[in-house]
Amino acid sequence: MNLTWKRTLRTPSSERFLAIYQGEEAAAVDLHYLPQGTISGTVIILKQSGIKEEEIPLLLSSLDDEFLPDVDLSQGNLSYTVVMGELLGNWQAEDDA
């Protein structure tokens, strides 16, 4: 699986990444840095990406290898919740003026 990762948001305790697969946005990952060096992530696989369920471990390993050198699923200090969905759009607050 040939993925490119793009960091889109970073705070002191969290980050958001987009996975680009075959030139299209394929997944979004929100990571939350917790006490004691653990990380909890939410992964949203976009249905239209064509990523199959059996490819999800490769996607997670790719992110882990590139951005998370100090944690690992096998060490118990990294966990993910994975969902599959479709992008409906982006909403943001509007100025009422």
CATH code assigned at 26 = 3.10.450
pLDDT tens-place string over residues 38-91: 999 999 999 999 899 999 999 999 899 889 988 888 888 999 999 999 888 878
The pLDDT of residue 30? 97
Tokens representing 72? 């690992």
The answer to whether the CB of 59 falls within 8 A of the CB of 19 is: yes
Q: Tell me which residue range forms the domain holding 63.
A: 3-85
Domain contains 39: yes
Indicate the number of domains in the chain: 1
Quick check: is 37 in a domain?
A: yes
* Mean pLDDT confidence for 4-26: 94
pLDDT score of 42: 97
The answer to whether residue 97 is domain-embedded is no
Considering the domain boundaries, does residue 8 fall inside one?
A: yes
Residue 72 lies in a domain: yes
Residue 95 forms part of a structural domain: no
Is the separation of the CB atoms in 18 and 44 below 8 Å?
Answer: no
